[in-house]
Structure 1
Amino acid sequence: MFALLRAAVPLFVAMVTGMVGSLVVTSVLGKHDTVTLAAFAVMTAVLNPATAAVQGALRGLGPFVAPHREEPAAAVPIVRDARWLSLATGAVGALAVLCVPLLAEAAGVPAEAVRELGLLPYFLAASVMVFASTGGTSTILIALGRNSHVLWPSLTAAVLLSVLAAVLVPSLGLTGVGLAWLTSGTAAAIVSIFNLRRAFGRAIGQARPRMGEIVRLARVSIPLAATVLIKFGVLGVVTFAASTTSTRDTAAHAVLTTLTGIMLVAAVAVAQAAVPDVARARDAAEARRAARTATLLAMMGAGAGALLLLVFGAQIMTGFSDDQAVRERVLALLPLMLLSSLFDAAQAVKGTGLTALKRSSASLRYFAIGYGLLVLAAVPVARTWGIAGLWVAMAMANGLLVVLQGLGFHRHSAKVGAADQEGPGSDVASRQTRKV
């Protein structure tokens, strides 16, 4: 457990650092102009899921690289293939970002907010491509056991983004945000590539795409990206359902959603840190032991956050809203949010474990079931039982996912050790095993 904790801490700090940079940008824009902040909110509604989907796809590379930790040179062809896949998914994400002004107009966003976007979509689309050009460097470093190296690109990006946003926004508005975002992302990419070169002891270079190997990587990576999009999409529907209740309930829901995201950071860090342990497991018992340890550690982290909120919730709420009624509503719903978050933390670890077993498509199916039911129930539940009913529904959906992901991991982990792991080609071996 302590080894996993040491591996997870740098990832946790890197995630928190990244969140700080985004919060600074939001704060600077809020003080600059309300319309500018509203336009940025419209942009992030597409940017966040697009970036998360690209990042999710890159996380699918971990189980292919982890078996080569003792001999990194053997993973070089995989890393080269990963770059082609990364650029392809990045191009899709960048295109979605470029389409934000058109989507905003079609959705009825006020014209002044759309005009305020200016050059921002172009800068942010370029930043998505810069991120994609690294080819999942963070995931590769984690798979190679270089977790501490993941912190430095995140720290570089956060510091530059915070400083440049504070300097550029007052005179350039959202164009300043775009410049700051692209500059900080480029600097982070340079640091990432330097760390990757150190890990391999040589330049990676690039080769012609091997379509068969890229497809094998995509079979794990693309379902993971789709899972991220499903979650973002369904939570967006839930937010819409919450907005049909009352203004104060909608504000309370926004605060609860923010707190949920903060609580899940530790669980996501632990889940990522555990991927190499599960991917390198020699048999089912070892894979399950690694998953149990990760789940326990993730639940401890989420539980610590829950305890903090239960004890100091009233004081913490003052930082989120000046409206006493909103604060009281949040505190009343806090137990439901904490229950939902604990379930979410547990299922995240099991789902990431399935990715480590190269079975992210199974996790995608489970998400389609659990969150499919949630999206069908969201609006009727909100109209009948308000946001309290919505948080009960979310807790039930996450609880169902704990069961589905847990059973799925148990079933698929039984095959660990039944066939030789051959990196990207292990799918062939597993098919042969199933035929036998």
Structure 2
Amino acid sequence: MIVLLRAAVPLFLAMVTGMVGTLVVTSVLGNHDTVALAAFAVMAAVLNPASAAVQGALRGLGPFVAPYRDDPGAAVPVVRDARWLSLITGTLGAVAVVCVPVLARVSGVPGEVVGELGLLPWCLAAYLLVFASTGGASTILVALGRSRAVLWPSLVFGLVLSALTVVLVPPLGLDGVGVAWVVAGVTAAGVASVNLRRALGRPIGQARPRVPEIVRLARVSVPLAATVLIKFGVLGVVTFAASTTGARDTAAHAVLTTLTGLLMLASLSVAQASVPEVARARDVAGARRANRTAALLAVAGTLAGALVLLLLGEQVLGLFTGDAAVRERALGLLPLMLLSSLADAAQAVQGIGLTALKRSGASLAYFVLGYGGLLAAAVPVARTWGITGLWVAMAVANILLVVLQGAGFHRHSARVGVAEAAA
């Protein structure tokens, strides 16, 4: 448990510092120009799932690198393969980001908002390519037991993005955010590359792509990225369904969704920290013990956040909205949101545990089942039972995923060590 905590805390802090930059951007734009803030919101609607999918694909590299913790230099060929795969996924994400103005026009976004985008799509596309060029450095560092090194690129990114946004937005508007994002991304990528070079103990260099090995990586990474896209897509539909229930309920749903994201940071950091431990396990008992410990820590972290919200709910909600009616509605739904978050925390650990076993395809299938039902039910439930019904549906979907992912991990972990025993 101590080992997991030592690895998870830097990851948690890295996630928090990464969010700070985005919060500063939103705050500065909100005080600068309403249209610019609306344009950034449109941009974020595509950037967030695109970057999350790229990050998801890169997290699939962990189980391939973890066996080399005692001899990091031997992992260099795998790191080279990872770089090729990350560039492919990054390019796909960049293309999606560049197409935002076209998608916005087709979706009926007001012309003044689309016109405000300016250079931002191109800048954020460049950022995704820069991020992808690191070849999943953060995931590789975690797999090699160098979790503390992950904090510094994220901290640098948050600080540079925040400082440049404050300086560049007044004269350049939304284009200033784009420039700030690219500069912050390049700086963070440089720090990540230096940290990775030190961890490996030798230069990475260049090599021709090893197509069969890249395909092996993709079989784990691509389903993980698809899982992330499914989750973002279905939650987007849920948000749309919530928007049909009235302005007050829509605002309450937005606040609760934001709080859910904050609560998930603890479970995601623990889940990522558990990947090397599960991947390096030599027997069934070791893999299941590492996964069980991670699940307990993830749920405990989520419960700690839940306790804060239950005790200080009114004050915390006041940070997100000044509307007393919205606060009251959100406060009434808080227990349901916390139940959904606890189940989500538990299923996330099981799902990433399957990735550590190189069975992310199974996790994707479970997600299709769990969130497929939520997708089909969202709009009818919202029309019949409103936002309360939506949060019940999300809680049920996440509980179902706990069962499916947990059973899946139990089944697939039964083969840990089988090949070695046969040899």
Taking structure 2 as the reference length, the TM-score comes to: 0.99
Aligned twin of 2:181? 181
Q: What letter matches 1:348 in structure 2? A: A
Aligned twin of 1:430? none
Aligned twin of 1:131? 131
Aligned twin of 1:20? 20
Aligned residues between the structures: 423
Aligned twin of 2:245? 245
For residues 206 and 420 of structure 1, do their structure 2 counterparts lie closer, same or farther at Cα, with a shift above 3 Å needed? farther
Mapping for residues 268-307 of structure 1, pairs under 5 Å: 268-307=268-307
- For the 8 Å contact 2:350–2:402, the answer to whether it is kept is yes
Shift of the alpha carbon at 1:420? Answer: 3.8
Shift of the alpha carbon at 1:225? Answer: 0.2
Correspondence 1:358 to 2:382: no
Q: Cα deviation per residue 1:88-138 (whole Å; 9 max; x = unaligned)?
A: 000000000000000000000000000000010000000000000000000
Task: Give 4+ residue runs of structure 1 displaced > 3 Å after superposition.
Answer: none
Q: Cα deviation per residue 1:205-229 (whole Å; 9 max; x = unaligned)?
A: 1100010000000000000000000
SS state of the match for residue 419, structure 1?
helix
Aligned twin of 1:150? 150
Correspondence 1:214 to 2:214: yes
Aligned twin of 2:88? 88
Shift of the alpha carbon at 1:201? Answer: 1.2
SS state of the match for residue 96, structure 1?
helix
Aligned twin of 1:424? none
Aligned twin of 1:428? none
- For the 8 Å contact 2:75–2:200, the answer to whether it is kept is no
Distance 1:420 1:389 in 2: 49
Distance 1:110 1:40 in 2: 13
For residues 62 and 207 of structure 1, do their structure 2 counterparts lie closer, same or farther at Cα, with a shift above 3 Å needed? same
Mapping for residues 3-402 of structure 1, pairs under 5 Å: 3-402=3-402
SS state of the match for residue 418, structure 2?
coil
Distance 1:322 1:249 in 2: 14
Shift of the alpha carbon at 1:417? Answer: 0.1
Cα RMSD, aligned residues only = 1.0
Distance 2:67 2:315 in 1: 47
Correspondence 1:416 to 2:416: yes
Q: What letter matches 2:55 in structure 1? A: Q
Distance 2:275 2:384 in 1: 41
Aligned twin of 1:427? none
Distance 2:174 2:283 in 1: 52
Distance 1:25 1:113 in 2: 17
Shift of the alpha carbon at 1:419? Answer: 1.1
Structure 1: stretches of 5+ with no match in the other structure: 422-432
Distance 1:4 1:63 in 2: 16
Q: What letter matches 2:168 in structure 1? A: L
Identity of aligned pairs, percent? 74
Q: Cα deviation per residue 1:239-265 (whole Å; 9 max; x = unaligned)?
A: 000000000000000000000000000
- My pick for the range that moved more, 196-205 or 217-226, is 196-205
Distance 1:34 1:207 in 2: 48
Distance 1:61 1:271 in 2: 14
Taking structure 1 as the reference length, the TM-score comes to: 0.96
Q: Cα deviation per residue 1:42-65 (whole Å; 9 max; x = unaligned)?
A: 000000000000000000000000
Shift of the alpha carbon at 1:6? Answer: 1.0
- For the 8 Å contact 2:54–2:225, the answer to whether it is kept is yes
Distance 2:203 2:189 in 1: 15
Q: What letter matches 2:23 in structure 1? A: L
